[in-house]
Amino acid sequence: MTRLEELEKAFGGRLGLFALDTGSGASLGYRDAERFPLCSTFKVMAAAALLRASERRPGLLAQRVHYRQSDLVEYSPLTEGHVDDGMTVAALCAAAIQYSDNTAANLLLQVLGGPDEVTAFTRSIGDARFRLDRWETALNSAIPGDPRDTSTPAAMATSLQRLVLGEALAPAQRSLLRDWLRGNTTGAARIQAALPARWIIGDKTGTGSYGTANDVAVLWPLRRAPIVLAIYSTHPQEDAKGRSDIVAAAARIAVDWMG
C-alpha cells in the first residue's frame, strides 16, 4: 500500500492528488482523473475568466460593481463592508481568491454572465473536465456522486499551470493572478503547512459539506522550477469536518516525491 493509499484509508474518505514538476515534466497522481467537488477552488478560474475578458476590455478591472445588503451570502468578510460604495472587479477578484469571499465570487459570476461562462473559459484553455453549475453557497453541497461543480485534480493542476506559468493569459493579467494567489490568507493549515522554509506558495483553498477540504497551488521552491499541486478530499458522511491535516499530509508526500 502506498503512502497516499494509507493516508486515504486513515481518512476514511476519498483523496485525490496531482503534482507536476514543471522542470522535469514528472508527475505524481492519485485518483487524479476522478471528479471531486470544487468548492471554492473554482474562484481561481472565475477570476482568471475576468482577467481574460479584461484583455479585450481594458477598463473592466477598474469597473465598480454595486450591490445590496440582500445580495450578501454566508461568509463575505470583505464585501459586507462595502455595501454602500461597492467594489471594483479587481478588488472582488482579490477578495474571492485571498479571503474566499462568497459574495465577491457571486458578483464576479454576475459580471461574467453566470457559472456557464466560467466553464466556457476553461474549455478555451484546453480543460475538458471543469464544470461550474451553481452559485455560492449552493455549490458547496459536495454530494457524493453529484457531477455538478466538479473537476479532477489533474485538470485543475494543468489549468493552473497554463494560467500562472503558461501563456493562457497575457503577461500583465498573469502577473495579477499570481500575486493574488500568493496573497492568499486561507491556506496556512493545508499545502503551506507541508512546505520547506523559504518556498513561495500561491494557492486557493476550498471547503464544503461531506468533509470536503481542497487546495490547489503553484509552488516556487528554491533554485528549481515551479511545482503545481492540486489536492482534493471528501468524505461519505455529510456532517464530517473538513480535514486540513489530511491535505497537509498529502502535500508532505508530494514534497517528499519531489526530492
Q: pLDDT by residue (tens digit) across 5-20?
A: 999 999 999 999 999 9
Q: Which three cell numbers stand for residue 42?
A: 473554482
User: How confident is the prediction for the chain on average, in pLDDT?
Assistant: 98
pLDDT tens sequence across 133-192: 999 999 999 999 999 999 999 999 999 999 999 999 999 999 999 999 999 999 999 999
Among the options 24, 40, 54, 76, which is catalytic?
40
The secondary structure element, H or E, covering residue 14 is strand 14-21
pLDDT tens sequence across 195-230: 999 999 999 999 999 999 999 999 999 999 999 999
Burial (CB count <10 Å: 0-12, 13-18, 19+), residue 27: middle
- In this structure, what is the dihedral angle of CA atoms 201, 9, 207, 193, given to the nearest 10 degrees? -30
Q: What is the pLDDT of residue 1?
A: 80
234 beta partners: 14
24 given a catalytic annotation? no
Contacts of 168 (CB under 8 A, 6+ apart): 48, 52, 125, 159, 162, 174
**Mean pLDDT value of segment 49-66:** 98
Residue 243 reports pLDDT greater than 90:
yes
Cα–Cα distance measured from residue 85 to residue 66, given in angstroms and rounded to the nearest whole number: 7
Q: What is the pLDDT of residue 171?
A: 99
Residue 193 reports pLDDT greater than 90:
yes
Residue 259 reports pLDDT greater than 90:
no
Cα–Cα distance measured from residue 51 to residue 154, given in angstroms and rounded to the nearest whole number: 23
Distinct helix (H) and strand (E) counts, the chain? 8, 9
Tell me the backbone φ, ψ of residue 206, rounded to 5 degrees. -150, 140
Cα 158 to Cα 13, 86, 111, 194, 244, distances in angstroms: 24, 34, 25, 21, 23
Q: What is the pLDDT of residue 180?
A: 99
C-beta neighbour count of 259 within 10 angstroms: 7
Q: Which three cell numbers stand for residue 169?
A: 493569459
Per-residue pLDDT band for 70 (boundaries 50, 70, 90) equals very high
**Mean pLDDT value of segment 116-134:** 99
Residue with cell 445590496: 68
Domains and their CATH numbers in the chain: 3-258 (3.40.710.10)
